[in-house]
Amino acid sequence: MGLVSFLKSRLVSTEQEKHIHHMQKLIGTLGYDPWGYNNETARYGLSLAKPIYEKYFRVEASGVDNIPAEGPVLIVGNHSGQLPIDGLLVGYALASREKSPRFPRAMIERFFPTVPWLGNLLNEVGGTLGDPVNCARMLANNEAIIVFPEGVRGSGKLYRDRYKLQRFGTGFMHLAMKYNAAIVPVGVVGCEESIPAIANIKPLAKLLGLPYVPVALPVVLPSKVHLNFGSPMYFTGTDTSETRIEEQTEEVKAEINRLIAKGLQERESVF
């Protein structure tokens, strides 16, 4: 056994291997899917995420079994913390659940594919360019997809605005209705405190072509994270007016707000 094979075998235990085996995805002969997901990388990604989830952020997840075991699902949550750590934790919660684990996809900012190494890495562990066409085709493939309708408005907000939901895009609602996908709301509490930012250097962000450049400590703080998953919400109807779509989006937003409040109430301390 070579050194690389030895390290790989140490990284992914037999138990994890079995667990991952249950989450078969539609992939090609070399382990890739059209969006760049790679079975092998995803295995190691999950193994590396385990200590981050369990030891570093000591995540407490409730209601993760509300996510349907099959069929198209949009897991819609509040975005926070400058880096997409919330997406990682929500994804791991679903992938590691005992009953019917699923390997979810995450819609990532349009900026990531332009970043060397990181863009490919995110693709290989399930991240996909946040494009409605991608989302639609994945829902047609019965995938579970993590969506943060606030986008960079949510992840890039300052610490003083923590847990204040920003404007939601309505794209996810259109897609959920078109593909009869369940919407599972999730309230994420704790990620706001992982990288608290006090300011955004907008001119520098513009210069570098980045969505934001936060003034923050150059470390990710080990805040305790609570994930509260709500019951699946279903919205049906064809030819629905944009006003109605916005009302339905507000319903989802209100549910996420409720789940955030629940998480804040449950939290005994930030760390």
Partner 1 sequence: MTEQQTKQHKPCILVTGAAGTLARQVIQRLQDSCNLVAVDSREPADLGDTIPSYCIDFNQRSFEDLFRRYHFDGVIHLGRIRSSQLTRLRRYNANVLGTQKLLDLSHKYGIRRVVVLSTYHVYGAMAYNPALINESTAMKSAGLSSDLVDSVELENLANIYQWRYPELNICILRPCNIVGPGVRNTMSTLLASHRSPVLAGFSPMMQFIHVDDMADAVVLAYKKPVCGVFNVAPEDWVSYQHALALSGCARVPVPSIPPVLPRVILRTLRLKRFPAYLIAFFKYPVVIDGRTFAREFNFTPRRPLKEIFRFYKDNKTPV
Note the residues at the interface with partner 1 (CB under 8 A).
28-30, 32-36, 38, 110, 113-117, 119-120, 123, 128-129, 131, 133-134, 137
From the CB of 207, what's the least distance to partner 1, in Å? Answer: 12
Quote the CA–CA distance of 37 and 40 in Å, as a whole number: 9
Residues with Cβ within 8 Å of residue 223, at least 6 apart in sequence: 57, 190, 191, 192, 193, 194, 270, 271
Tokens of 31: 């382990």
Nearer to partner 1, 144 or 191 (CB): 144
DSSP per-residue string spanning 159-210: GGGTT---PPPSHHHHHHHHTT-EEEEEEEESGGGTS-EEEE-HHHHHHHT-
Considering Cα of 127, then 256, then 156, then 220, what sign does the dihedral take?
A: negative
Nearer to partner 1, 115 or 198 (CB): 115
Nearer to partner 1, 119 or 222 (CB): 119
Strands 226-229 and 60-62: parallel
Assess contact for 123 and 36: CB atoms under 8 A.
Answer: yes
From the CB of 54, what's the least distance to partner 1, in Å? Answer: 30
Nearer to partner 1, 28 or 218 (CB): 28
Quote the CA–CA distance of 49 and 146 in Å, as a whole number: 16
From the CB of 142, what's the least distance to partner 1, in Å? Answer: 15
Quote the CA–CA distance of 76 and 218 in Å, as a whole number: 28
Considering Cα of 36, then 227, then 131, then 27, what sign does the dihedral take?
A: positive
Nearer to partner 1, 51 or 132 (CB): 132
Nearer to partner 1, 38 or 78 (CB): 38
From the CB of 116, what's the least distance to partner 1, in Å? Answer: 2
From the CB of 135, what's the least distance to partner 1, in Å? Answer: 9
Residue 58 burial class via C-beta count within 10 angstroms: exposed 0-12, middle 13-18, buried 19 and up: middle
Residues with Cβ within 8 Å of residue 18, at least 6 apart in sequence: none
Nearer to partner 1, 39 or 228 (CB): 39
